[in-house]
Amino acid sequence: MPTKGHIYSSVIGNNSEPVIYNSVNLNSYELLTTNIQVSKEENLQKMVFAPLKLVDYSQVGFLRETRINIAQKNGVSTFGLGLGFDNSSPYSKRGDMKISSAFKDFPPLPVQGKDEKDYIYEIRKHKYYYSMDSVYAETYKKLLTNSVKITAGYNISLFEIIGGDKVDADNDTIIDNYHVVESNNYSLGITYAFSLKRAVSLTLHHSLKRGSQNEDERLVSYSGWSFSYAQQICILNKRYERTPDYLKSLFIPSITGGASIEFQNATKNKTYVKNGITETLVITPFLEFKINPKNQFRIGIPIKKYSGMTNETALGPFIQWTLQIAKID
């Protein structure tokens, strides 16, 4: 059998938390996922990388699903680490069982006949490997069906200025750049994939945040959650099952539609909340266009409702470009 490969299993991953928790989201399961998100109110540059997927499974075991998050949003830099479980992985026990079963009666590579011409033999080898790739793809599809992914994550966010002299620019005896850490975020997420085309995700969050670097700022405790649903609504290449991207890693050129709900509520030190906002609810319908692994973009229209000292509803679209790499050939 050829070497196992990683599969594109994030039907919903980078769509699950597009606004409140986009900088700390770790619900992406590829080797590498990068995002650039642009809107009127904020800009985000983000990368989630799973470096241990480059290492032999026997050396790292369950740590293979460890992910590193690096993001910058409106001048705040975020660094995070996530530990995951993914039973759709070909390297999981479930994956071993399904792949072994699929190839139990698969014939060995045919030997070239004594009088067989080289080009005839090359054609036979091509058909053999295509048949092998097709079995892998079908097995990966079964692996992803009714699969569960769990991620526990921690992120620390730093203010734009993290060093240098302490400054009191407005002479109010309060240091303006006293604090370095903007927030700490803890999360636990679960994603259930019904199939290649449909998935739901639920993530719980607990955060400790400061509104500014000022010396007199206090950490505000927040609790929150997000829920997302994504559904493939259109396939862009009807012959996708013959493409190398699908046969090797299940990537389907398609349009995905769905919606996410994000909620955040201040629970302690409410007098220090940023901009007087104690509660935020965001509902985001979105469309994602998956052209190929290196060319993907998403359009979302968040509907934001703020409560606290100010009560208002806002509407503002965003555009996000995404690159995903499942494996390095």
For the chain, the three-class secondary structure string (H helix, E strand, C coil) is CCCCCCCCCCCCHHHCCCCCCCCCCCCCCCCEEEEEEEECCCEEEEEEECHHHHCCHHHHHHHHHCEEEEEEECCEEEEEEEEEEECCCCCCHHHHHHHHHHCCCCCCCCCCCCCCCHHHHHHHHHHHHHHHHHHHHHHHHHHHCCEEEEEEEEEEEECCCCCCCCCCCCCCCCCCCCCCEEEEEEEEEEEEEEECCEEEEEEEEEEEECCCCCCCCCCEEEEEEEEEEEEEEEECCCCHHHCHHHHHHCCCCEEEEEEEEEEEEEEECHHHCHHHEEEEEEEEEEEEEEEECCEEEEEECCEEEEEECCCEEEECCEEEEEEEECCCC
Q: Hey, what domains does the chain have and what are their CATH numbers?
A: 13-325 (2.40.160.40)
| Cα separations in angstroms, 209 against 13, 156, 266 | 25, 10, 10
For 117, how many CA atoms within 13 A lie in the half-sphere containing its CB?
3
Q: What mean pLDDT value characterizes the chain?
A: 86
* 91-112 pLDDT per residue, tens: 888 888 888 888 888 888 888 8
262 vs 322 pLDDT, higher one:
262
Q: Are 200 and 12 in contact (CB under 8 A)?
A: yes
Q: What are phi and psi of 281, to 5 degrees?
A: -125, 125
* 206-223 pLDDT per residue, tens: 999 999 888 889 999 999
Q: Tokens at residue 71, please?
A: 């993001």
Distance between CA atoms of 291 and 30, rounded to whole angstroms? 17
Asked if residue 31 has pLDDT above 90, the reply is no
pLDDT confidence band for 14 (50 / 70 / 90) = low
Asked if residue 320 has pLDDT above 80, the reply is no
pTM of the complete model: 0.86
pLDDT confidence band for 137 (50 / 70 / 90) = confident
112 vs 316 pLDDT, higher one:
112
Q: Evaluate the CA torsion angle 229, 283, 322, 14 in order and state its sign.
A: negative
* 235-288 pLDDT per residue, tens: 999 888 888 888 877 888 899 999 999 999 999 999 999 888 999 999 999 998
